[in-house]
Amino acid sequence: MAMKILRLAATPVLLVLHAMLMSAGAHADTCSGSVLSEGSSCGDKTPIGPAACPDPFPAGCDAFFGEKGGGFIDLLECGWGGLGSPISPCRCESLPGMKVSSNGNWCMPEKPDCSDHATVGALSAIDPHCRKWPITPKKAVDPNDKLGTLGVSDQEFIGAGAPLNYAIHFENLATATAPAQIVVVTDQLDAQRLDLATFQLGPITFGAVTLVPQPGAQAFAGGVDLGLEQDLQVVVNAALDRSTGLVTWRFTSIDPATGQLTDDPDAGFLPPNVNAPAGEGSVVFTVMPKSGLATGTAIRNQAQVIFDTNAPIATPTWLNTVDRDPPVTHVAALAAVQSATTFPVQWTGTDAGAGIRDFSVYVSDNGGPFMLWQSQSIASSANFAGAVGHSYGFFALGTDLVGNAEAVKTAAEATTQVVSAPACAVNVSAQLQVTRSGFGYNLATQRFTQTVTMKNVAGSTVGAPLSLALDNLSTNATVYAPSGMTSCAAPAGSPFINWSGSLAPGASATIVLQFTNPTKAGITYATRVLAGSGGR
């Protein structure tokens, strides 16, 4: 008797698990604890394997993934984990407009021009519809396999209140020389992290038979008559020992004639798995994590399977990690005033755990109530269209990939005011006497220097700030570290240097210019002095 290595895609198996758990209540009345004949309604085993896609995304969910880019669809309602979660190939192919990439690694839009700039999960800056998701990697699945609740990322993050569902699979290899008569499955629960009072047995399957314990049952005793062909009954006992946290399932092949364990070495309830799923079985249970577990708490679970007198074989360990903390988000600071009615607003956040799923951004207009502006956005910025004379306050709220939502805020994290676009700064050249020194030359930096003095020769103060613009600067030279380039008042494109103060009548301001001039040809320009807060 031996166990074989079976490879199954993880996601379909979990979907089956999910379906089994969801259907438990419906079957309980007719199947629980009864001895059933083959071919009954409870004997129809749900198909397992990659050939079919048992649970394609619900209608409408494709809008989030595909090139259509429709309204936001809640990812969890669509049965999918989040931005970085992988998608099985069959689920990908079930989405209209989506395909598995040629290398098999990505689920992405069929648009041919998406291949170069699709981004993982998030919106592409080039084409918002060109998002892609990783394809579920193929995992080695031992026949004695343990699968658990699918969480987010490699750490399988789950919310603090999420139930933990586990399925344990076993199989008698097709190459085995005899059927299994007794199979014992044990699973040691972590009593420190799991609330054993919430433990519930789920469906128990072998071959084409499914037994469903009562809802909430922590123990089960039942059996199945395998019919005349095998002339066997299978007794199944399952129970949780609350004192130790050990769960045990025992399958025993009974000779109907003696009521004892069959003594026929060629008889047994689990034959070599030549005609799958005749040689396969599984058990399922669910349990809640204890309340109060901190974010980052790892919950591991591993089972053991024993065939007859063989040594126990351990299943893989399934890991889930608790994420109970919501994200911390904020809107980035804004300039006190905006001269354009449309201005960018940026937000960001951090999450200890699964990561941020989306942001919602709220805005208050002139101190009014905060209204939703950006709903469940996966972007980190957007342009806000305001109105001149209005003040705006913003805050952001985040939700993480396991559904933890940030508490509602009451105060703005960033405020700004939209003001009229300023006129160009005043050209005050006529009010100032501009005197230039000769050019010096810094032998170390090889930059030319020049001191320019601006004296107010008018009878009124020239308002701050001042900007000395150098118009028609010879092309061989550039101003080193200018304050900016003129763009408001003509001529545009002239470098200028700011001087922050104002100039009373008779007062002077001095600016030292530096020029880079690799050719060392002559430097010429005309001066223009701009004053006031207007544009340069």
- Out of 437, 472, 487, 533, the only residue in the binding site for another protein (CB under 8 A) is 437
Site for another protein contains 516 (CB under 8 A): no
- Out of 110, 294, 312, 441, the only residue in the binding site for another protein (CB under 8 A) is 441
How far is it, in rounded angstroms, from Cα 13 to Cα 35?
26
Site for another protein contains 430 (CB under 8 A): no
How far is it, in rounded angstroms, from Cα 206 to Cα 283?
9
Pairing of strands 337-338, 414-418: parallel
Alpha helices in 400-449 (DSSP H): none
- Out of 37, 275, 310, 442, the only residue in the binding site for another protein (CB under 8 A) is 442
Alpha helices in 110-189 (DSSP H): none
Pairing of strands 119-120, 209-211: unpaired
- Out of 307, 395, 448, 499, the only residue in the binding site for another protein (CB under 8 A) is 448
Cβ-in-10-Å burial (0-12, 13-18, 19+) of 439 comes to: middle
Site for another protein contains 7 (CB under 8 A): no
- Out of 450, 461, 483, 516, the only residue in the binding site for another protein (CB under 8 A) is 450
468 or 523, CB closer to another protein? 523
487 or 524, CB closer to another protein? 524
**Selected range binding another protein among 113-121, 326-334, 342-350, 436-444, rule: CB under 8 A:** 436-444
Residues in contact with 12: Cβ distance below 8 Å, sequence separation at least 6, in sequence order: 48, 49, 50, 52, 53, 54, 55, 88, 90
Site for another protein contains 505 (CB under 8 A): no
346 or 450, CB closer to another protein? 450
- DSSP annotation string for 85-123: --B-HHHHHHSTTEEE-TTSSEEEES-GGGTTT-EESSP
- Out of 23, 40, 248, 449, the only residue in the binding site for another protein (CB under 8 A) is 449
Torsions phi, psi of 426, nearest 5? -80, 135
Site for another protein contains 457 (CB under 8 A): no
Site for another protein contains 521 (CB under 8 A): yes
Tokens of 176: 């085995």
Site for another protein contains 520 (CB under 8 A): yes
Site for another protein contains 481 (CB under 8 A): no
CB of 476 to another protein, least distance (A): 9
Site for another protein contains 371 (CB under 8 A): no
Site for another protein contains 455 (CB under 8 A): no
69, 34 contact by CB (below 8 A): no
Which residues in this chain contact another protein in the complex, by CB under 8 A? 434-444, 448-451, 474, 510, 512, 514, 520-524
